[in-house]
Structure 1
Amino acid sequence: MSVMVIATIEAEEPHEKTVEKALRDVVTPSRDDDGCEMYVLTRDEDNTSLFLMVERWRDGAALKAHENTTHYKALMNAVKGKLVSIDIQKLDVRM
Protein backbone atom coordinates (compact mmCIF):
# COMPACT_ATOMS: atom_id res chain seq x y z
CA MET A 1 0.00 0.00 0.00
CA SER A 2 1.35 3.43 -0.85
CA VAL A 3 1.98 6.22 1.60
CA MET A 4 1.06 9.87 1.08
CA VAL A 5 3.02 12.54 2.94
CA ILE A 6 1.83 16.08 3.43
CA ALA A 7 4.47 18.25 5.08
CA THR A 8 3.45 21.75 6.13
CA ILE A 9 6.53 23.89 6.70
CA GLU A 10 6.48 27.47 7.97
CA ALA A 11 9.77 29.35 7.75
CA GLU A 12 10.75 32.09 10.16
CA GLU A 13 10.45 35.38 8.28
CA PRO A 14 14.17 36.19 8.04
CA HIS A 15 14.92 32.65 6.77
CA GLU A 16 12.31 32.29 3.98
CA LYS A 17 14.85 32.28 1.14
CA THR A 18 17.18 29.83 2.88
CA VAL A 19 14.31 27.45 3.63
CA GLU A 20 12.94 27.78 0.10
CA LYS A 21 16.34 26.94 -1.40
CA ALA A 22 16.76 23.90 0.84
CA LEU A 23 13.27 22.67 -0.10
CA ARG A 24 13.89 23.22 -3.82
CA ASP A 25 17.25 21.44 -3.61
CA VAL A 26 15.67 18.23 -2.28
CA VAL A 27 12.95 17.90 -4.96
CA THR A 28 14.93 16.48 -7.90
CA PRO A 29 16.99 13.90 -5.97
CA SER A 30 13.87 12.83 -4.05
CA ARG A 31 11.97 12.24 -7.30
CA ASP A 32 14.83 9.93 -8.29
CA ASP A 33 14.57 7.89 -5.07
CA ASP A 34 13.35 4.33 -5.55
CA GLY A 35 9.65 4.16 -4.76
CA CYS A 36 8.90 7.87 -5.21
CA GLU A 37 5.64 8.22 -7.14
CA MET A 38 5.14 11.97 -6.60
CA TYR A 39 7.11 14.76 -4.95
CA VAL A 40 5.73 18.29 -5.29
CA LEU A 41 6.76 21.51 -3.54
CA THR A 42 4.17 24.28 -3.27
CA ARG A 43 4.11 27.70 -1.64
CA ASP A 44 1.11 29.53 -0.22
CA GLU A 45 0.11 32.48 -2.41
CA ASP A 46 -0.81 34.70 0.55
CA ASN A 47 1.73 33.60 3.16
CA THR A 48 5.16 33.35 1.50
CA SER A 49 6.59 31.77 4.65
CA LEU A 50 4.35 28.71 4.25
CA PHE A 51 5.34 25.72 2.09
CA LEU A 52 3.62 22.38 1.48
CA MET A 53 5.44 19.30 0.28
CA VAL A 54 3.11 16.65 -1.13
CA GLU A 55 4.64 13.22 -1.65
CA ARG A 56 3.51 9.73 -2.57
CA TRP A 57 5.68 6.68 -1.94
CA ARG A 58 5.25 3.10 -3.13
CA ASP A 59 5.25 1.89 0.49
CA GLY A 60 6.52 2.64 3.97
CA ALA A 61 9.89 1.03 3.23
CA ALA A 62 10.48 3.43 0.30
CA LEU A 63 9.60 6.40 2.51
CA LYS A 64 11.91 5.18 5.25
CA ALA A 65 14.74 4.75 2.74
CA HIS A 66 14.12 8.32 1.52
CA GLU A 67 14.35 9.62 5.10
CA ASN A 68 17.81 8.02 5.34
CA THR A 69 19.20 9.61 2.17
CA THR A 70 21.93 12.23 2.17
CA HIS A 71 19.67 14.80 0.47
CA TYR A 72 16.87 14.38 3.04
CA LYS A 73 19.31 14.69 5.93
CA ALA A 74 20.87 17.76 4.29
CA LEU A 75 17.40 19.33 4.06
CA MET A 76 16.67 18.72 7.71
CA ASN A 77 20.05 20.20 8.72
CA ALA A 78 19.58 23.23 6.44
CA VAL A 79 16.20 24.17 7.96
CA LYS A 80 17.06 23.40 11.58
CA GLY A 81 16.44 26.48 13.72
CA LYS A 82 14.87 28.37 10.79
CA LEU A 83 11.26 27.20 11.09
CA VAL A 84 8.23 28.41 12.98
CA SER A 85 6.77 24.93 12.61
CA ILE A 86 6.82 21.71 10.64
CA ASP A 87 3.95 19.24 10.55
CA ILE A 88 4.43 15.97 8.71
CA GLN A 89 1.37 13.80 8.10
CA LYS A 90 1.88 10.25 6.84
CA LEU A 91 -1.26 8.73 5.38
CA ASP A 92 -1.96 5.19 4.19
CA VAL A 93 -3.45 5.24 0.70
CA ARG A 94 -6.02 2.44 0.62
CA MET A 95 -8.10 3.49 -2.36
Structure 2
Amino acid sequence: MTQLTIVANIHAKPDQIDLVKAELEKLLPITRAEEGCLQYDLHRDNDNPAHFMFFENWESRELWQKHTAAPHLAAYRAATDGAVAERTVTEMTHIG
Protein backbone atom coordinates (compact mmCIF):
# COMPACT_ATOMS: atom_id res chain seq x y z
CA MET A 1 0.00 0.00 0.00
CA THR A 2 1.17 3.51 -0.83
CA GLN A 3 0.42 6.33 1.57
CA LEU A 4 -1.86 9.01 0.10
CA THR A 5 -1.77 12.74 0.79
CA ILE A 6 -4.89 14.80 0.19
CA VAL A 7 -5.06 18.56 -0.15
CA ALA A 8 -8.66 19.73 -0.13
CA ASN A 9 -9.55 23.39 -0.65
CA ILE A 10 -13.00 24.60 0.37
CA HIS A 11 -14.19 28.12 -0.41
CA ALA A 12 -17.28 29.15 1.53
CA LYS A 13 -19.71 31.68 0.17
CA PRO A 14 -19.06 35.02 1.94
CA ASP A 15 -22.30 34.92 3.92
CA GLN A 16 -21.80 31.27 4.92
CA ILE A 17 -18.26 31.31 6.37
CA ASP A 18 -19.27 30.61 9.98
CA LEU A 19 -21.55 27.73 8.99
CA VAL A 20 -18.93 26.07 6.79
CA LYS A 21 -16.22 26.50 9.46
CA ALA A 22 -18.41 24.95 12.15
CA GLU A 23 -19.32 22.00 9.94
CA LEU A 24 -15.68 21.42 8.94
CA GLU A 25 -14.62 21.46 12.59
CA LYS A 26 -17.18 18.73 13.36
CA LEU A 27 -15.31 16.42 10.97
CA LEU A 28 -12.01 16.61 12.86
CA PRO A 29 -12.45 14.19 15.79
CA ILE A 30 -14.57 11.70 13.83
CA THR A 31 -12.20 11.53 10.87
CA ARG A 32 -9.06 11.39 13.00
CA ALA A 33 -10.47 8.24 14.62
CA GLU A 34 -11.10 6.53 11.28
CA GLU A 35 -9.13 3.51 10.14
CA GLY A 36 -6.18 4.59 8.02
CA CYS A 37 -6.21 8.28 8.97
CA LEU A 38 -2.64 9.36 9.77
CA GLN A 39 -3.17 13.13 9.67
CA TYR A 40 -6.23 15.32 9.22
CA ASP A 41 -5.51 18.99 9.75
CA LEU A 42 -7.78 21.94 8.95
CA HIS A 43 -6.29 25.30 8.00
CA ARG A 44 -7.73 28.73 7.22
CA ASP A 45 -6.24 31.29 4.84
CA ASN A 46 -4.87 34.28 6.76
CA ASP A 47 -5.93 36.69 4.01
CA ASN A 48 -9.22 35.09 2.96
CA PRO A 49 -11.43 33.86 5.82
CA ALA A 50 -13.70 32.02 3.36
CA HIS A 51 -10.86 29.70 2.24
CA PHE A 52 -10.29 26.51 4.24
CA MET A 53 -7.80 23.76 3.48
CA PHE A 54 -7.48 20.20 4.75
CA PHE A 55 -4.07 18.56 4.69
CA GLU A 56 -4.57 14.82 5.09
CA ASN A 57 -2.44 11.70 5.10
CA TRP A 58 -3.98 8.26 4.73
CA GLU A 59 -2.48 4.78 4.89
CA SER A 60 -3.93 4.02 1.44
CA ARG A 61 -6.19 5.38 -1.27
CA GLU A 62 -8.70 2.63 -0.49
CA LEU A 63 -9.04 3.76 3.13
CA TRP A 64 -9.38 7.40 2.03
CA GLN A 65 -12.13 6.39 -0.40
CA LYS A 66 -13.89 4.60 2.45
CA HIS A 67 -13.69 7.90 4.37
CA THR A 68 -15.26 9.83 1.48
CA ALA A 69 -18.31 7.55 1.68
CA ALA A 70 -18.65 7.84 5.48
CA PRO A 71 -21.93 9.03 7.02
CA HIS A 72 -20.30 12.06 8.66
CA LEU A 73 -19.10 13.29 5.24
CA ALA A 74 -22.62 12.89 3.88
CA ALA A 75 -23.95 14.88 6.86
CA TYR A 76 -21.37 17.62 6.20
CA ARG A 77 -22.34 17.81 2.53
CA ALA A 78 -26.04 18.07 3.44
CA ALA A 79 -25.42 20.73 6.10
CA THR A 80 -23.32 22.87 3.74
CA ASP A 81 -25.39 22.37 0.60
CA GLY A 82 -25.46 25.75 -1.14
CA ALA A 83 -22.93 27.26 1.30
CA VAL A 84 -19.73 26.22 -0.52
CA ALA A 85 -18.71 28.24 -3.57
CA GLU A 86 -15.87 25.98 -4.69
CA ARG A 87 -14.19 22.75 -3.62
CA THR A 88 -11.11 21.05 -5.04
CA VAL A 89 -9.47 17.84 -3.90
CA THR A 90 -5.97 16.86 -5.00
CA GLU A 91 -4.51 13.39 -4.45
CA MET A 92 -0.75 13.47 -3.96
CA THR A 93 2.15 11.13 -3.21
CA HIS A 94 4.97 12.11 -0.86
CA ILE A 95 8.33 11.92 -2.62
CA GLY A 96 10.83 13.26 -0.15
TM-score bracket for this pair, using the shorter chain length: over 0.9
- Shift in Å, 1:81: 1.0
- Structure 2 unaligned segments of length 5 or more: list them: none
Further displaced range: 61-70 or 15-24: 61-70
Cα displacement string for residues 8-65 of structure 1 (whole angstroms, at most 9, x for unaligned residues): 1110011000000110000110000000000000001111000001111000111011
1:5/1:91 contact within 8 Å kept: yes
- For residues 80 and 73 of structure 1, what CA distance do their matches in structure 2 show? 10
Corresponding residue for 2:92? 91
Shift of 1:90: 1.0
Displacement of 1:92: 2.8
State TM-score, norm by structure 2: 0.93
List, as ranges, runs of 4+ consecutive aligned residues in structure 1 with deviation greater than 2 Å. Answer: 92-95
Q: What's 2:14 paired with?
A: 13
Q: How far off is 1:91 after superposition?
A: 1.3
Q: Secondary structure at the match of 1:93?
A: coil
Superposition RMSD on alpha carbons, in Å?
1.1
TM-score by length of 1: 0.94
Q: d(CA) in 2 for partners of 1:24 and 1:55?
A: 14
Q: Equivalent residue of 1:41, what SS? A: strand
Q: Is the 8 A contact 1:16 1:49 kept in 2?
A: yes
Q: 1:27 to 1:50 in 2, by over 3 A?
A: same
Deviation at 1:70, TM superposition (A): 1.0
Q: Which residue of 2 aligns with 1:80?
A: 81
Q: Percent identity?
A: 23
What pairs with 1:22-41 in structure 2 (closer than 5 Å)? Answer: 22-41=23-42
**What residue is the counterpart of 1:45 in the other structure?**
46
